[in-house]
Structure 1
């Protein structure tokens, strides 16, 4: 009897969760922020392309245009983009009305300047938002509102039908198309499925990166599912086992850099991922990339520092769901438009999620995980869903602060008294970030001036701020990271540095400062392993 062929999901296969054909990141899925982005970002950009596609085609071919609002589509795709715009206007007119209702409610609240009771304003709440908001006043008598998010996820505005998934294969250079400015249309180089992210076949599919499944099972997974694009399901699989596997942690605390803002922290008893963005492994970068097959068979905790797509990366989290026990996330503000709940979002996809407030801690075998207050990097918006992380394992102390900006050194003085000196300090130093409207502009209901945009940026720590943190924690080792240096992340980072970039200058100062103090320090790139014995 012939033995059935056993197949692995290929290491160079990449996965993209989609929302109405756009690459999914956390602000696109909560109903109200998602509606604002659909109308004020996606529909606007696509309408611009339909009206003047030649300008878009010309612009995306210019150097340095990654991250801009020009679509990377061809003239032949104009009709497909036009159909997506029409789909928003027709099939999702209720989401357009929901987006408009936010603007109307903002105008109503701006008009209320007397400081007197706001109870009568409930009658004026626009229809789509009635029953989904609470209006309140601050102590200076300024009105505002909060969204009742748990109800909105149970409403008609949370549409699983908008979700779909796409699979592609890295090109010869190991690259993927930039994802944030262009919808992902079915094409010769992808395979798309109209299923939501909670579909059970996804977990079995991603498990096949490590454990092979029979060819007949592959066929069964896709049987009955409508597919589009030029790839077939079998194109995603190979008979070749991954060449590299996870090596179990020996004695001590093992810390591996995964790229960008990601770390794997292990002891013989516990495995923890921090802000994972796991890259598909292509031939071009195979020796520099720590990919899915090298992760532990079980992840006890995934810790997310904040909601931005390079930290709360849905693409990676969905691929790790089958092996993950608990995701730890920061608590949000309780319903503000700019600060949706990461807990509620991830629970829609079947994750077990535990929400932490400032200085809350979770006991783990051999130690604890502590949520550390995190200032800055959000353009001065009232965003509470952000935390740095402190790990105390087997007597060793690790501080991980992706994108933390030391706006008030007194905060770290207080924290230092609580946690003491650390063995490892990892600090993000993306010190010149994009204007905050790059992520949050769609949420505004009035035009933001250029002066405001340029002033309020998504900045992490520069040298002075990072050094002040190090002065408090007195680390034995320092690692600078979350800079977007790795080229395999350009598909969503879109960053190019040279030696004159402020990020390189400021991190260079930090490295020199550490060297003068005989403290080992490194600007992380690719992968790196450290053992604290």
Structure 2
């Protein structure tokens, strides 16, 4: 067969993996990755190996959806054992680093009594030497601060743990990302390459510009068998939608969850990209509906459903800048989103509250994000105010209306919002569901259950809308789309507290003459 230029099929997906677990912030950023490897992922695999049938049965139980159970058939348990042995061997430095963090945190708790901290540096584990600072806050409470750029250069950051799997979107729910590793399979192309590998940008660029198989093979460093498998992911047909650009006015498209594409003829702004590749589905926008160039990608926060690597990696080379909120610099629970994405090869701009980012024909202003992070001291979160095409749009993600006065300040500074998008997952998962591995001091179940990953309820959402003076408001980021299950694992019914609160909020909007909607799958606004 002639080596003719071909396109990458529009329904190809990529799953970025770290030690064969689906990659997200806490498994890539080295401080948090070490803690998750030592205190979550390795123990999870050990638990599975003790009783594979229990884990497999639990993954099939709808009431346990989103739980930490490994959904790999028992007949493949030896592969899991080999995976665990490999993790222990190649990740030895990370296990030692995690143990050092736990010891150092305990040492600081015991030894920092309000006096000079200098003697404590000599007691730090060797693994942390030169990588941390010990400091008091103004309440005389001491803590460790990690020098995160240096940790990326230490033995705790092992890029060789990274790999990717390429395949055709299956159209069925994939295994839950936080618990089930991805083993090799006949229908996936396994590549042991880092996420920043330039060949991946070449590959996904072939959605817009055709490439020869020989060129992609060289760019990705493939052997004969891998090249043959890659050939099945290519097609001679151009797959992009003809209406992905606009010639006048403005447009917003809802791609699902918290992903909005805001467009004018001059520019595109994309929020929290999490996009379906299932081109057989007729109820959603997919990658084929994205414009060829995206000026700004706005990331609201670091949770796995808002900074989605499998989408961001497919957009590399098409994005001008990825805008992320600045972290608190060195806090154990608040890794830098900027460093994370830079090490994956993406162009990044970090912003603080009320920083302004201009783009052709408009501007973005980063605005504060309250709550939703189980009361942890996490600064790397931002809402956004976007002005384009004569409209002002507030993108609120999962921010809480716990203090309505904040939105009064936002409005006094920026004006009235024409449209607002709010998340109302108001009964979220408890603290330990996402942060257990980072807690160096145990918390009770009662404490954990009281500190949830929750956005606004009806009353709080109403106060946000009132203070912003929004004329239209839409509920999004609820995790209801069918293609989000492998990341969200949410399950609602009409009696769910979240759905009841949304209905209550919809009634409030009707009473106050605010146009409102509850988004699902896709929607479009034009002006």
The TM-score, its normalising length taken from structure 2, stands at: 0.96
2:483 maps to 488
1:95 to partner: Cα distance: 0.6
> Quick one: structure 1 residues 501 and 98, their matched pair in 2 at CA, closer, same or farther if it must change by over 3 Å?
same
- Report the Cα distance in structure 2 between the residues aligned to 1:266 and 1:470, rounded to whole angstroms: 24
For residues 130 and 246 of structure 1, do their structure 2 counterparts lie closer, same or farther at Cα, with a shift above 3 Å needed? farther
Which of 325, 342, 349 does residue 337 from structure 2 map onto? 342
Equivalence for 2:182? 184
What's 2:291 paired with? 296
Note if 1:138 corresponds to 2:137. yes
Q: For the Cα contact (< 8 Å) 2:111–2:120, is it kept in 1? A: no
Correspondences of 1:516-527 after superposition (within 5 Å): 516-527=511-522
* Greater mean alpha carbon deviation, residues 300-309 or residues 343-352: 343-352
- Deviation (angstroms), 1:231: 8.5
Cross-structure match for 2:236: 239
2:431 — aligned with what? 436
Partners of 2:337 and 2:396 in 1: CA distance: 18
Q: Per-residue deviation at 1:409?
A: 1.3
Instruction: Give CA deviations for 1:184-230 in whole Å, capped at 9, x if unaligned.
Output: 110123221000011111011111223322344344445545978x9
What is the CA distance between 1:530 and its match in structure 2?
Answer: 0.7
| Structure-2 change in CA distance of 1:137 and 1:174 (3 Å) | same
Aligned residues of 1:218 and 1:234 also touching (Cα < 8 A): no
Q: Residues of 2 paired with 1:322 and 1:178: CA distance?
A: 29
Is the Cα contact below 8 Å between 1:191 and 1:233 reproduced in 2?
Answer: yes
Residue 101 of structure 1, CA deviation: 0.6
The offset of 1:520, in angstroms, is: 1.9
Q: Which moved more, 1:289-298 or 1:194-203?
A: 289-298
* 1:89 CA drift (Å): 2.0
- For residues 462 and 299 of structure 1, the distance between their equivalents in structure 2, rounded to whole angstroms, comes to 33
- The whole-number CA distance in structure 2 between the counterparts of 1:231 and 1:313 is 28
Alignment partner of 2:202 out of 172, 188, 204: 204
Query: After the TM superposition, which residues 434-513 of structure 1 pair with which residues of structure 2 at under 5 Å, given as runs?
Result: 434-513=429-508
For 1:50, the equivalent position in structure 2 comes to 49
SS in 1 for 2:135: strand
> What is the aligned-residue RMSD (CA, Å)?
1.8
Q: CA deviation at 1:370?
A: 0.5
Cα 1:353/1:218, change in 2 over 3 Å: closer
Q: Choose from 265, 272, 275 the match for 2:272.
A: 275
In structure 2, the residue matched to 1:118 is 117
For residues 334 and 316 of structure 2, what CA distance do their matches in structure 1 show? 24
Judge which range, 503-512 or 303-312, deviates more: 503-512
Aligned pairs, how many? 527
Q: Matches of 1:36 and 1:82 in 2, distance apart?
A: 20
Q: Aligned with 1:107: secondary structure?
A: helix
Which residue, 352, 367, 374 being the options, matches 1:379? 374
Counterpart Cα distance in 1 of 2:224 and 2:312: 24
Q: Residues 243 and 414 from structure 1, CA distance in 2 versus in 1: closer, same or farther, beyond 3 angstroms? A: closer
- Residue by residue over 1:344-377, the C-alpha shift from the partner in whole angstroms, topping out at 9 and shown as x without a partner, is 1111122221111111111222232101100000
CA contact (8 A) 1:378 1:457 kept: yes
CA drift at 1:250: 3.0
**Deviation (angstroms), 1:433:** 0.6
1:274-304 deviation per Cα after TM superposition (whole angstroms, max 9, x unaligned)? 0000111242x2x222111211111111000
- Over 3 Å counting, the alpha-carbon distance change for 1:223 and 1:97 in structure 2 is closer
Map 1:368-447 to 2 at 5 A.
368-447=363-442
**For residues 68 and 52 of structure 1, what CA distance do their matches in structure 2 show?**
16
Q: Distance in 2 between matches of 1:225 and 1:128?
A: 38
Match of 1:107 in 2: 106
**What is the rounded CA distance, in whole Å, between the counterparts of 2:220 and 2:149 in structure 1?**
33
Change (3 A) 1:293 1:110: same
Structure 2 unpaired stretches of 5+: none
Matched, 1:255 2:263: no
CA distance in 2: counterparts of 1:120 and 1:223, whole angstroms? 51
Write the distance in 2 (CA, Å) between the matches of 1:54 and 1:176: 19
CA distance in 2, matches of 1:16, 1:505: 35
Show the 5 A alignment for 1:162-173.
162-171=161-170, 173=171
* CA distance in structure 2 between the partners assigned to 1:226 and 1:325 by the alignment: 35
Matched residue of 1:187: which SS? coil
CA deviation string 1:289-335 (max 9, x = no partner): 21112111111110000001111111111110111111111010011
In structure 2, the CA distance between the partners of 1:149 and 1:225, relative to structure 1 (3 Å rule), is: farther
2: CA distance, partners of 1:223 / 1:418: 52
